[in-house]
């Protein structure tokens, strides 16, 4: 079990519990007696996204760390906490990183492993906008008038990782056949990146063994 105490900000100084166990995730999101906690069973946890929202009024004066977890029914747990004028920013940023790592260890690493296992078994997977199978990936890109869907074989799939997002592209035409996915805005973008990277690495290893 892992537990975190989260203080949302000046307007909500209560220290709220985030509890991660092998069976469930619970967050003290409410204030009414008997209804303080929102709980997702582990088997129902489906997606997450995370990022930093900058707080601005002419100048940037704060940041809000945001982590969203969604279950299979569409219900969302929202975990947020703020730093103003860089007050306790190092401690809060450290907590943000540790929560994401803990969520991965407790729940999302298993979801990643299950995606890879199912794809290797021949199943076609859908992670957000992207379809993944043994032949390659397909995703939507911007066309002249509308979006179009393209297919890219694994030998031509490229990835580029940035701080807040990653891009997937066709190495034979990266300029026009590419798409970006934002860790803050796109559900399971982090899992999608890890799944794609795992499969690309597997294919490169298999090719090297054949050669």
pLDDT in tens, the chain (211 residues): 999 999 987 677 689 999 999 999 999 988 666 668 999 999 999 999 999 999 888 787 899 999 999 999 999 999 999 998 878 899 999 999 999 999 999 999 999 999 999 999 999 999 999 999 999 999 999 876 678 999 999 999 999 999 999 999 999 999 999 999 999 999 999 999 999 999 999 987 654 444 4
How many structural domains compose the chain? 2
- Check whether residue 6 and residue 80 sit in a common domain: yes
- Check whether residue 159 and residue 79 sit in a common domain: no
- Check whether residue 6 and residue 103 sit in a common domain: yes
What does the alpha-carbon distance between residue 28 and residue 7 come to, in Å, rounded to a whole number?
11
Structure tokens at 42: 């582990």
Total count of residues recorded for the chain: 211
Please indicate, yes or no, if residue 53 is contained in any of the structural domains: yes
In this structure, how many other beta carbons lie within 10 angstroms of the beta carbon of residue 159? Answer: 12
Nearest to 199 by CA among 126, 135, 147: 135
Last residue of a domain, one of 74, 107, 140: 107
- Check whether residue 102 and residue 134 sit in a common domain: no
- Check whether residue 145 and residue 99 sit in a common domain: no
**Cα separations in angstroms, 141 against 97, 167, 177, 185:** 31, 11, 7, 17
Contact (CB, 8 A) for 192 and 179: no
- Check whether residue 65 and residue 15 sit in a common domain: yes
Return the axis-axis angle of helices 109-120 and 189-210, rounded to nearest 10°. 50
Please indicate, yes or no, if residue 155 is contained in any of the structural domains: yes
Contact (CB, 8 A) for 28 and 15: no
What does the alpha-carbon distance between residue 2 and residue 27 come to, in Å, rounded to a whole number?
12
pTM for the model stands at 0.90
Please indicate, yes or no, if residue 118 is contained in any of the structural domains: no
Please indicate, yes or no, if residue 89 is contained in any of the structural domains: yes
pLDDT given for residue 170 in this prediction:
97
Question: At 67, which CATH number?
Answer: 2.30.29
- Which residue's structure tokens are 């002419």? 58
What does the alpha-carbon distance between residue 168 and residue 198 come to, in Å, rounded to a whole number?
14
- Which structural domain range is residue 98 located in? 2-107
Q: Is 37 helix (H, G, I), strand (E, B) or coil?
A: coil
Please indicate, yes or no, if residue 115 is contained in any of the structural domains: no
């Amino acid at each position: 079990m892992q537990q975190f105490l989260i203080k949302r900000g000046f307007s909500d100084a209560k220290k709220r519990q985030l509890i991660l166990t092998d069976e469930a995730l619970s967050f003290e999101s409410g204030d009414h007696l008997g209804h303080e906690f929102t709980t997702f069973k582990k088997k129902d946890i489906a997606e997450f996204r995370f990022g930093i929202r900058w707080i601005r009024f002419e100048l940037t004066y704060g940041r809000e760390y945001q982590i969203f977890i969604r279950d299979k029914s569409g219900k969302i747990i929202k975990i947020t906490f703020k730093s103003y004028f860089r007050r306790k920013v190092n401690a809060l940023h450290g907590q943000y990183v540790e929560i994401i790592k803990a969520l991965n260890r407790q729940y999302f690493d298993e979801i990643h492993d299950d995606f890879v296992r199912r794809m290797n078994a021949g199943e076609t997977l859908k992670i957000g906008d992207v379809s993944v199978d043994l032949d390659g990936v397909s995703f939507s890109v911007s066309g002249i008038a509308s979006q179009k869907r393209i297919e890219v074989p694994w030998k031509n799939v490229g990835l580029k990782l940035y701080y807040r997002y990653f891009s997937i592209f066709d190495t034979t035409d990266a300029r026009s056949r590419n798409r970006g996915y934002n860790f803050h805005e796109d559900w399971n973008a982090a899992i999608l990146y890890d799944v794609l990277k795992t499969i690309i690495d597997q294919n490169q290893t298999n090719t090297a063994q054949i050669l």
